[in-house]
Amino acid sequence: MTETEPCDWSEMTPDMLLAHMAGLAILQKKITKALDGAKRQYLRTHDADSPKENAVFAGLDAATVLVKRDGEGYYKVDDPLAYADFLSHYGLDCEGQPAVITVNYPTPNAMGERFLERLIREHGGEIPDGVKYQPGRSGGVTVTLGKGIAEHAFDSAELSRLAIEAAV
């Protein structure tokens, strides 16, 4: 057991560990749903102009609650090539300067994995400017609850016991 892991998972049988992961995933979903509901209720009487408030839990100053203001939206180019085609098609300029430039750009085949692997291999493993190695994503454990399982009426004492055991 470490400071970051209050429960000694290594003492559990594989079936117990699987059951705990499922139970904790159920709790996480129920807690998220409950917290989202509480936040929606809070927003009925508070807005971004409301002062932050301290939340007391079990006699302790446990949290600060603050309503954040919506961020300002803005326009952003998400496809520069499509935008350049648009600007070029309409002959638009930008503050008296051309709105598009001509650049060297690799073909889709030249950007493909097979070509890049061969190119790098043929050049002694040297990675060309503008190319980077993209590692695969890390593996891990995923817990996917069965359909409707989080809404099932589980014994709250059993879920509470599980949460206490895992967190204390």
Chain segment 55-91, per-residue pLDDT in tens: 888 788 888 999 999 999 999 999 999 999 999 999 9
90 falls within a domain: yes
Distance (Å, rounded) from C-alpha 150 to C-alpha 22? 10
| Beta partners for residue 98, in sequence order | 93
Distance of CA 155 to the CA centre of its chain: 31
Look up the domain containing 92 and give its range: 77-102
Residue 119 located in a structural domain: no
In a domain, 114, yes or no: no
The answer to whether residue 93 sits within a structural domain is yes
Quick check: is 3 in a domain?
no
Interaxial angle between packed helices 14-45 and 156-167, expressed in degrees from 0 to 180 and rounded to the nearest 10: 100
Indicate whether 168 belongs to any domain: no
- Asked whether residue 82 is domain-assigned, the answer is yes
* Residue 86 to residue 80: CA distance in whole angstroms: 10
Question: Is residue 27 in some structural domain?
Answer: no
pTM more than 0.75: no
Residue 62: phi, psi to the nearest 5?
Answer: -95, -25
Cβ of 23: how many Cβ atoms within 10 Å?
19
- Token readout for 166 is 């895992």
Strand boundaries in 23-144, DSSP class E: 53-57, 60-65, 93-94, 97-98
CB 27 within 8 A of CB 159: yes
- The two three-digit tokens of residue 91, written as one number: 């002959």
**pLDDT 10s per residue in the chain (168 long)?**
445 566 788 888 999 999 989 988 988 988 888 889 999 999 999 998 989 998 888 788 888 999 999 999 999 999 999 999 999 999 999 999 999 998 888 999 999 999 999 999 999 999 999 999 999 988 777 877 788 877 777 778 888 877 887 775
- Total domain count, the chain: 1
